[in-house]
Structure 1
Amino acid sequence: MSIEKAKVLLASDSTTKSRVLQLDPRDNVLVALTDLGMGERIRFLERDYVLSADVPAKHKFVTEQIAAGGEIIMYGVLVGKATEALRPGDLLATRNLRHAAREFHETEEVGRTWTPPDVSAWRKKTFTGYHRADGQVGSRNYWIVVPLVFCENRNLAVLKQAFEEELGFAAPQVYRRQVRELVRLYREGKNDELRSFTPSAMQPGTPSARVFRNVDGIKFLMHEGGCGGTREDANNLCALLAGYIHHPNVAGATVLSLGCQNAQIAILEEQITRRDPHFNKPLLIFEQQKSPSEAAMISRAIRETFLGVVEADKVARKPAPVSKLTLGLKCGGSDGFSGLSANPAIGHTADLVAVLGGRGILSEFPELCGVEQELIDRCTRTEVADRFVQLMRDYAARARAVRSGFEMNPSPGNIRDGLLTDAMKSAGAAKKGGTSPITAVLDYPEYASEPGLNLQCTPGNDVECVTAQVGAGANVVLFTTGLGTPTGNPIAPVLKIATNSGLAERMADIIDIDAGSIISGKTTIDEMGEVILDRVIEVASGEARTKAEVLAQDDFIPWKRGVSL
């Protein structure tokens, strides 16, 4: 249910109207939109509730008598069970609530009827991107340098320093200059100034002039894998790297291999061919154990990479339809407002893009616990639904095998801000997928090729998930946060959307869009979703950079397919 529809359920009393919210008529909890005090009388649907404790904003109190073991319903779904008897007005907390979720099952009744949103305002809109020979269109134009094994990370660092500084891609060294200033004060014996020194007056330095106009940078995907793990780890790493090499935001790649590791060059090449049998991007491979010396390999890699970047610079942006957008849909550092504001807002954005022929990627399988049946029923084909069921059950079984489970998912920050169980968190997290039909289900680290909403098996872990979404082809990522998460990606712009205005003001350096106006009633979910799509088009066109790009938040962590929640 949208916030607009939910507000119909609120009492006409102006003192109550903006303070509590019911998300679904079936719910037996109310959400506090602002801090409520113990002893306050809250009137809702002509019933009065006297609060037995303080109810902080984003938290919930029950609206009926609930026996120990009784069900707690929110968003119209089971999100937990009471561990003790509860009375109307009682605050929900971890001491009186435990995780519980409905069972799910395969179904033959797929292809639910859907009423798509009006997209007439975007039918003729385009973004300017980098057109690739395989038909994909990038929002950025990067050259990437990847190691097949962690043994090559030191060589990767050498290349990174050389290229970024000399080609004008290095971030301004404001913190390095801060340390230099502290050293100066120390050497001059100015101890008082040293203790009171603040860098607030220091301005960011100006990077050296960019050499290449049409290349957004050279990105170095350092990781700790490639050998020493399982063969599955090596195969998945090669497949993930193949996804990055195949990605529309990548013009070409330099690959560093030691030679003896599990993640072999042949596996990488096979995975690239799976994604594009006619792959024709520049792919430069250097194997250290076949080189006369480390210096010789690095020197050759520098020369050939430079020549590759020269060619990449010849590609210019051209108009492309919105159907060429693939959106990663992610939340991190979630709070009790995530499922009410930013998540459904990007869900509406995803619906608009789906109608226009583009793709959305909804991941984080541990955070779909309890809403599986809703997603199963939205699948367009039985085989799509069956694959989702199997992947969810396999993931849950892996967790149980190491004495873990989805119920361990909410972080301390999530709990502190009102997300008390995994099912409660999941019910709000699933809103990122909007309401459109689910056209495909991807296992990690497969590549998205089906238009519409794709489900992708990943952990909820912020960086592992975004890394996987981009590896599946997302050329823009929409990342909602209620607590503030400094996450980005090396090759895809990540737009951060705050669930509440307080966060947007407090962490303005990392937040791109404030969806808190939905909570205050100034903006509807649909309106915010449309604002977000317009910003996506602007960012995808290179007309604006995200805060994550400005701060060089180039986070990259491959998932080793273990139990990461």
Structure 2
Amino acid sequence: MQKKLLKVNPSDNVIVALTDLSQGENLNFEGNEITTLTSVKAKHKIAEKDFAVGDSIVMYGVLVGKAFFPIKKGEVITTENVKHQSEKVTEKQTTLSWSPPNVEKWKDKTFLGYHREDGQVGTSNVWLFFPLVFCENKNIEKLKDIFERELLPKKEDPYQLFLRSLINDKSENPKPETVEENNTLNNIEVKFITHQGGCGGIRQDAEGLARLLAGYVNNPNVAGATVLSLGCQNLQVEIFKRVLNEINPNFNKEILIYEQQQIGTVDKMLPMVIKDSYEAIKRANQIERKPAPLSKLTIGLECGGSDGFSGISANPSLGVVSDIMVALGAKTILAEFPELCGVEQELMDRCVDETKANKFLSLMKAFEKSVVDAGSGFDMNPSPGNIKDGLITDAMKSAGAAKKGGTAPIVDVLDYGEYISESGLNLLNTPGNDAECTTALVGSGATVVLFTTGLGTGMGNPIAPVLKISSNTQLAEKMNDIIDVNAGEIISGTKSINDVAEDIINYIIEVASGRIVSKADQQRQDVFIPWKRGVSL
């Protein structure tokens, strides 16, 4: 029989409802008789004891809020009776010890990856087209249409056919027909990204975008790139080249760069771009997958559309995965700084030295100040969907989100756009916004992104597989077209956190080897949204 209640940490004073509870239900939890004062939806929390105004609300062993009104034992914790509160942090207090997990069963495992000359190994082989400035978006979109028409299977859109059936007043929706695809380029993907930056903002934004785009080109999932520049924009070609050299002085991939104001008309430029790019794509197609140890993986850790189960099923599973990967010598990246609010002390104490800890705290404070200066605050981070499903304060959401990072030491702290260099667990300064975070993780070198969700989102990335791990079985069944791994079996008690972590690692190996295509990639969910930190001029 499934358990009805769960206390995440022995020091917590709120309890998670694992199933829907009726009003007046009498429950015996760890010797404590609790009667529900109202009906309680699964994922929400009830008070373990009476709270007076101002009393601390503790979950995951940390302060996540303060009682705003008196709360009776058995009453549901809500946004009305509890307000966000987190511990104040000023410095690293200690260095936490770590006992690595036993990785004997994983140490000889390999994946079939794309080996680059700088020693990095990719999970994909992508030729990437992108602009340095939004003025070239139209040309990138034209190239996308041209290349995809010739290189992708010719399949009519089922929704287009559905509309056609309505127009023709036919009751049956015709089946789409597929023409055999061009198989001459079966070892390379061609992807395209556009953006709204590169000019018009402050110079720092142009520099940040240059660093992000350079990170994409340096990511081992990319074989080479075609880059379009207008010519007069803030993000000059020289800036992009300089930043790329700073990230990787030994960079030697093929890059084709075209500046429209130097070449002339579109009719003169595009045939040149198409011819040169096609020849380069054919050369990149000759690169083949070869075995690589799991230590060559770089894994991004993210959550989006979280629910009240995320922090007790999917996120802790990612934490175990991260710890195993770190013990094997791989790189993992935990991002979303607004969703680390309230757990700063633990993260600082896990930093390998004071310099890294101080950098983390400095970035957190600067981020929070920018949010306050904009008239908001980290307490506004939980979305309506989060709140509806039991995440009522930012600190509560953050304490669960941080579980994705496991327990390993933090070897480095990266600001937005910095490229990963240290093996082990890294922190990356990004927003909690799903698209901006995923975009940044891949720009910092992630070759696979693990994305937990309790509510569901189909978002992917142009060059790195984004694997969706659902926190609950209902979501996995309802939206099975977007979920790769179901962690909801932890809630039902049919699997342990370690079992699901093992499922995830096995799935990573299959995706990284090209034997399984992630659900997001099946739907070509190629989302690229840079974080615009400045203002427009």
Whether 1:118 aligns to 2:102 is yes
Residue 416 of structure 2 is aligned to residue 448 of structure 1: no
Gaps of 5+ in 2: none
CA contact (8 A) 2:153 2:178 kept: no
Contact 2:22/2:36 (8 A) holds in 1: yes
2:224 counterpart of 1:252: yes
1:166 aligns with 2:150: yes
Q: Give, in angstroms, the shift of residue 369 of structure 1.
A: 0.4
TM-score (norm 1): 0.93
Does 1:499 find its partner at 2:499? Answer: no
Equivalent residue for 2:30?
A: 45
Name the counterpart of 2:125.
Answer: 141
Name the amino acid aligned to 1:86: I
Give 1:81's match in structure 2, choosing from 53, 66, 73: 66
Query: Structure 2 CA distance, aligned partners of 1:450 and 1:178?
Result: 51
Give yes or no for contact 1:172–1:206 (8 Å, CA) kept in 2: no
2:13 corresponds to which residue?
28
Kindly indicate whether residue 193 of structure 2 is the aligned counterpart of residue 210 of structure 1. Answer: no
Q: Is the 8 A contact 2:161 2:176 kept in 1?
A: no
What's 1:4 paired with? Answer: none
- C-alpha deviations, 1:212-239, integer Å up to 9, x for none? 1211x11111111111111111111110
Question: Residue 410 of structure 1 is aligned with which of 364, 377, 382?
Answer: 382
Say if 1:398 and 1:170 are closer, same or farther in 2 by CA, change over 3 A. farther
Instruction: Give the aligned partner of residue 130 of structure 1.
Output: 114
Match of 1:472 in 2: 444
Native 8 Å contact 2:165 2:172 kept in 1: no
- The residue type equivalent to 2:346 in the other structure is E
The reply to whether residue 385 of structure 1 matches residue 357 of structure 2 is yes
**Secondary structure at the residue paired with 1:330?**
strand
**Separation in 1, partners of 2:454, 2:155:** 27
Give runs of aligned pairs for residues 502-517 of structure 1, distance below 5 A: 502-517=474-489
- Once residues 282 and 371 of structure 2 are traced to their aligned partners in structure 1, the CA distance between those partners, rounded to angstroms, is 47
Residue deviations 1:471-527 (CA, integer Å, cap 9, x gap) = 000000000000001110000001101000000000001001111000011111111
Distance in 2 between residues matched to 1:234 and 1:255, nearest whole Å: 15
Does residue 106 (structure 1) correspond to residue 84 (structure 2)? The answer is no
Offset of residue 108 of structure 1: 5.5
Structure 1 residues 170 and 438: alpha-carbon distance in aligned structure 2, compared to 1, 3 A threshold? farther
Query: Which amino acid is 1:490 matched to?
Result: P
Give the whole-Å Cα distance in 1 for the aligned partners of 2:22 and 2:94. 47
Percent identity at matched positions?
A: 52
Q: Distance in 2 between matches of 1:517 and 1:344?
A: 13
Q: Which runs of 5+ in 1 are unaligned?
A: 1-13
Give structure 1 regions of 4+ aligned residues with deviation exceeding 6 angstroms: none
Q: Is the contact between residue 174 and residue 204 of structure 1 (CA under 8 Å) also seen in structure 2?
A: no
Offset of residue 178 of structure 1: 3.0
Return the offset for 1:292: 2.8
Residue aligning to 1:539? 511
C-alpha offsets along residues 515-556 of structure 1, whole Å, 9 cap, x if unaligned? Answer: 100001111111111110111011000010000000000011
Distance 1:548 1:120, change over 3 A: same
The alpha-carbon deviation at position 204 of structure 1 amounts to: 6.8
Change (3 A) 1:363 1:207: farther
Q: Is the 8 A contact 2:215 2:247 kept in 1?
A: yes
Question: Distance in 1 between the 2:213 and 2:172 partners?
Answer: 42
Structure 2 CA distance for aligned equivalents of residues 451 and 472 of structure 1: 13
Change (3 A) 1:135 1:554: same
Q: Is the 8 A contact 1:370 1:426 kept in 2?
A: yes
Query: Alignment partner for residue 340 of structure 2, among 336, 353, 368?
Result: 368
Say whether the 8 Å CA contact 2:15–2:46 is kept in structure 1. yes
| Contact map agreement 1:169 1:210 (CA 8 A) in 2 | no
Corresponding residue of 1:70: 55
| Counterparts of 2:527 and 2:184, CA distance in 1 | 25
SS at 1:263's partner residue? coil
Is the 8 Å Cα contact of residues 171 and 552 (structure 1) preserved in structure 2? Answer: no
Q: How far apart, in 1, do the equivalents of 2:9 and 2:22 lie? A: 24
- Pair 374,330 (structure 1): closer, same or farther in 2 beyond 3 Å: same
Q: Please give the per-residue CA displacement for 1:220-260, whole angstroms capped at 9, x wherever unaligned.
A: 11111111111111111110000001110000000000001
Q: Aligned equivalents of 1:36 and 1:357: distance in 2? A: 45
User: Which amino acid in 1 is paired with 2:262?
Assistant: K
Does the alignment pair 1:523 with 2:508?
A: no
TM-score, length basis structure 2: 0.97
What CA RMSD, in Å, does the superposition of the two structures yield over aligned residues? 1.4
Please tell me whether the aligned partners of residues 155 and 177 of structure 2 are also in contact (alpha carbons under 8 angstroms). Answer: no
CA contact (8 A) 1:72 1:81 kept: yes
Q: Distance in 2 between matches of 1:333 and 1:463?
A: 12
Matched, 1:432 2:417: no
What is the match of residue 273 of structure 1? 245
1:138-194 deviations in Å (ceiling 9; x for gaps):
0000000010111101101110011011012677633233334444x0xxxx4xx4x
